[in-house]
């Protein structure tokens, strides 16, 4: 079980850091509608730059908290619950703009991994 928890934490944390720090200005198949960057994606959802910034800070902070939970295990559950809530919001935004379900799969996958982290 320990190895599964380690794998889940690393997958979620490194995946989020990759999206928000390395790939935020790159096009992917999973961006909402025809958005090419994360900032454009938030605009597609009708969200302001302030919300984009807040969500970015929260996601990066929670990803770092998941990594820190290797040394401070008490951080794992709150970080996973917070990230899960943000992933639920991401899924809802994809539904809002009527994206095909394939674009929402990453948010659902990360939500499921966060639920597993919180429960283990």
Give the mean model confidence (pLDDT) for residues 44-66: 98
Residues 6+ apart with CB under 8 A from 54: none
Three-class secondary structure of residue 48 per DSSP:
coil
Q: Quick one: CA torsion of 68, 71, 74, 76, rounded to 10 degrees?
A: 40
What pLDDT, on the 0 to 100 scale, is given for residue 104?
Answer: 95
**Tokens 């539904």, residue located:** 95
As a three-state string, the secondary structure of 17-41 is: HHHHHHCCCCCCCCCCCCCCCHHHH
Mean pLDDT of 27-31: 93
Evaluate whether 45 touches 2 at the Cβ level (below 8 Å): no
| pLDDT of the residue at 13 | 98
Task: Please state the φ and ψ torsions of residue 70, each to the nearest 5 degrees.
Answer: -65, -30
Q: Report the residue count for the chain.
A: 120
pLDDT digits (tens, 9 = 90+) for 62-104: 999 999 999 999 999 999 999 999 999 999 999 999 999 999 9
pLDDT exceeds 80 at position 1: no
Confidence of residue 107 (pLDDT cuts 50, 70, 90): very high
What is the domain partition of the chain in residue ranges? 2-119
Query: pTM of the full predicted structure?
Result: 0.94
Where residue 35 falls among pLDDT bands split at 50, 70, 90? very high
- Residue 108: the pLDDT is 97
């Amino acid at each position: 079980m320990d190895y599964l928890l380690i794998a889940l934490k690393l997958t979620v944390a490194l995946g989020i850091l990759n999206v928000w720090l390395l790939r935020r200005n790159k096009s992917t198949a999973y961006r909402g509608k025809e958005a090419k960057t994360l900032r454009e994606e938030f605009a597609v959802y009708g969200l302001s730059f302030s919300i984009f910034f807040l969500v970015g800070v929260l996601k990066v902070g929670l990803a770092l908290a998941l990594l820190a939970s290797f040394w401070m295990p008490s951080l794992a559950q709150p970080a996973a619950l917070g990230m899960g809530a943000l992933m639920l919001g991401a899924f809802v935004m994809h539904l809002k703009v009527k994206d095909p379900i394939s674009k929402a799969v990453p948010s659902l996958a990360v939500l499921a991994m966060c639920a597993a982290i919180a429960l283990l």
